[in-house]
Every structure is written in C-alpha cells, then in structure tokens.
Structure 1
C-alpha cells in the first residue's frame, strides 16, 4: 500500500480519539461535526481497502505525534515494511473474499435460472417478464436515449437505487450504462416491465461505485421501459 494513502487515512483517528477520551465530545459546533465527518469518511475508506483490523490506538498516537510535530516513533524503513505487510494481508483477504463471493454467485444464478418464467441469455443475463408492452412496440438501439423507471437491489433485498422511490423516471443513453442494462434494454419493447438479474461480470465486477454495493455483487433490477426519446422527435 502506498504510504501517502495510509497517511491520508490517518485522519480516521479523529474518531478514534473520541473513544480514547474519558468523555465523548459533543458534536454541536461546525468544527466538531466536520472533524467527525472526516473521521467517518476515512473510516469508510479504510473498510473499503480491507483495513478493518487497524490498531485504532496506534493510529490515534500517530496523528497526535504528527499534529504535535514530534519525531516519529517508528523508522521510515520499518514503516515501509509494515505498510507492505499490511497491503499483502489486505490483498490476500480480498482475494479469498472474492473467490467465495463468486462461488456464491454461481450457486445463486443456477438456482434462479430454475424458477418458472426466468430466461437466461447467452451472456448469462437473466430476466423475467412482469408486464408486457405492445408486441410490435419499438425496441431501443445502442445509440438511443431511453426513459426508464427502475429499482435496484442486492440479492439480499437491500435497495441501493430507485427512481421509483424518487418518483421520477430517468433518461439515459443505452450505451452509457452497465453491460447488463445495455443488453436488457435492447431486448425490451416500450411498455415492458421486467425483473432483470445481472451477474457481477455484467455489472460492476470486482469494482464498486458505492459502499452500498459490495465488489462482485449480483444486481437485481425491476425496470420498466417507458419510452425512446428518438421516437418522440
């Protein structure tokens, strides 16, 4: 792990210092709230980097020394070696978790494919029709912009995004979304409402656009194609 990444993450100790004090400070002033926010954001970043086993007391001590301008208690050489070991541990843990998640995904998709009404495409995308539009209705092309209502969930039912909850559909370019959506939209006709199960490799894969969506997540969308902008021109 690059040292500057960990150095930036040291701000997480703002929140750990609270736990080390005898009395929790109030979070009433703008400085207190901003400080808490910095600690919260950095803590979330550490978790995303797989560093949930950080020694928070040592972390707080490092920040105290930095702010006081005192000499570092650990040599540069030892720090670099420690960073390297921590990075290796994080990568090993992430690899194991990724393998386990992919195995879970395979089992989930295999079971889902057995359900009545589920259609699996050649790419592995799975969908089932909730409501059908006009059988002769228009189908989007990759170059089109479409209007869609949707709700996205993880396989455990956690909702991570929903135009339905916001009460307003979205307009988006067919070619500008995740591969699973690109494929599904071009199979749908105006008025179709489908439940679409998107394998992780057709979604965000090992990456993640949000802490709400873990790496290698299968995404489940209820989506309705409301219109194609070019049809209205």
Structure 2
C-alpha cells in the first residue's frame, strides 16, 4: 500500500465525516447526496479496516478536513504527517503479513487433519476431494464448457458464494477457473457430486478477490457436475 493511497483514503473519509455536525453523532440520511456520502464513508471505512487501519481517529480526520475547508493553518507539519503515514503503512503491512502467515498455517493444519478422514482423497497437487454421489457419466476435458451447481465455504463453514442459494446453475469453461476447480472438474463424471478442499495455492493465495475470502484461505466447495455443453451443436450467428 502506497503512502499516497493511504493519504487519499484518509482525506476521503474526512470529507464524509466533515459533512456531519461535529457536535452530534446523529446525521440525516434522507437526500441522495446524504445517502451517497454515507455510502462512500462506509465503503472507505471497510477498506481501511481491511488494510489494518481500524484504529484511525475519526474526530481527528474530521478536524483536519474542517481546518482545510476553513483555510486554517495545519495543526501539524507536513513532515510529521508523512512520518505518521509511514508509521501506519508499515504497521498495516506488518499486521497483514502476520495474518497471512497465520491463515496459511491454519490452512495447512486443516488439510493435514482433513486428509486423514475416511473417504478423503489427496492428489499429487494437494487438492483433496470426497465423492458424495458417484455415477458413470462422461468426464469433461480442460477445453470443455460445463454446467455446475456449487456452494463455496471457508473452513469455518461460512458461505461466500452459492449458485444453489441463487437457484440457478452456471456454465463455465473448465480451463478458465481456479486451478483446484480445473483439476477437480476433470476428475468428475456428469451427475456426480464432489466436495473439494482446495489449498490456497490452488485457489487465490494472497490475492483474495473478495473481502469474504481472507488471503491464504483453504476453500471448500460442494460441487455438482450437471452436464458438459456440446459447443459444436450450438447454433452460430449468421
């Protein structure tokens, strides 16, 4: 995270906070501008919290933006602010490094224990799977497009995505998904249901696509292979 990014984020939060009456914690959220302002502050606050900035002083942020709007002299020197930004940046990076390491170790421990359970198969890549429902249908290739139903969870059971909950299966290219799915789908037969336990290195690693999926997370998927689409049979546009 760069210093200018942190500075811009703090300034934006301050801009939102500055619109509030500093004498009260209550704000009106009636007009589109007020609602949008609250939404900006909420989203930015979440972003800062995810980056380890969960102890910023909102009153100090608001005071800074109020002083700027009133064209008052800054209460601290620029070099002091730069030093403070550097401190927060370094501390946030240290926190994230520690959290990532902790998550990686927890994932490794989970897979070690899970691999001992009866019915769980561990492949050479480290992917683990259970066959929940077995059939003799066709198996897809990496070049195929398949129709699947799935539910994705973290190891604590919290759901982060689910086509089942949406009530609609999806079509996807076997070769266009995370490595754990690419391998897992090619093990399956049409009509089968698997439970996949995907190590972080076969999923998203440290580059999480969503706040719902912490970095270095082991992902657990209930996966049903509904069918393999016959691309050759699909009508072409004239």
Q: CA deviation at 1:20?
A: 5.0
- Aligned equivalent of 1:108, options 96, 99, 110: 110
Residue deviations 1:95-148 (CA, integer Å, cap 9, x gap): 1112211111111111111111100111111110111121xx221111111111
Change (3 A) 1:214 1:18: farther
Match of 2:13 in 1: 12
Change (3 A) 1:114 1:196: same
Say if 2:17 and 2:58, in contact at 8 Å, map to a contact too.
no
The answer to whether the aligner puts 1:46 opposite 2:48 as a matched pair is yes
Distance in 1, matches of 2:25 and 2:91, equals 34
Say if 2:178 and 2:204, in contact at 8 Å, map to a contact too.
yes
* 1:100-139 alignment, distance < 5 Å: 100-134=102-136, 137-139=137-139
Match of 1:3 in 2: 3
Gaps of 5+ in 2: 234-238
Which 4+ stretches in 1 moved above 4 angstroms? Answer: 15-20
SS in 2 for 1:150: strand
Gaps of 5+ in 1: none
SS in 1 for 2:99: helix
Distance in 1, matches of 2:190 and 2:232, equals 12
Distance in 1, matches of 2:110 and 2:18, equals 39
Q: CA deviation at 1:23?
A: 4.5
Distance in 1, matches of 2:68 and 2:196, equals 51
Match of 1:170 in 2: 170
Compute the RMSD of aligned alpha carbons. 1.9
Q: CA deviation at 1:208?
A: 1.1
Q: CA deviation at 1:49?
A: 1.4
Say if 1:126 and 1:198, in contact at 8 Å, map to a contact too.
yes
TM-score (norm 1): 0.91
Change (3 A) 1:115 1:171: same
Match of 1:180 in 2: 180
Distance in 2, matches of 1:64 and 1:35, equals 16
Distance in 1, matches of 2:26 and 2:138, equals 61
TM-score (norm 2): 0.90
Q: CA deviation at 1:160?
A: 0.7
The answer to whether the aligner puts 1:82 opposite 2:84 as a matched pair is yes
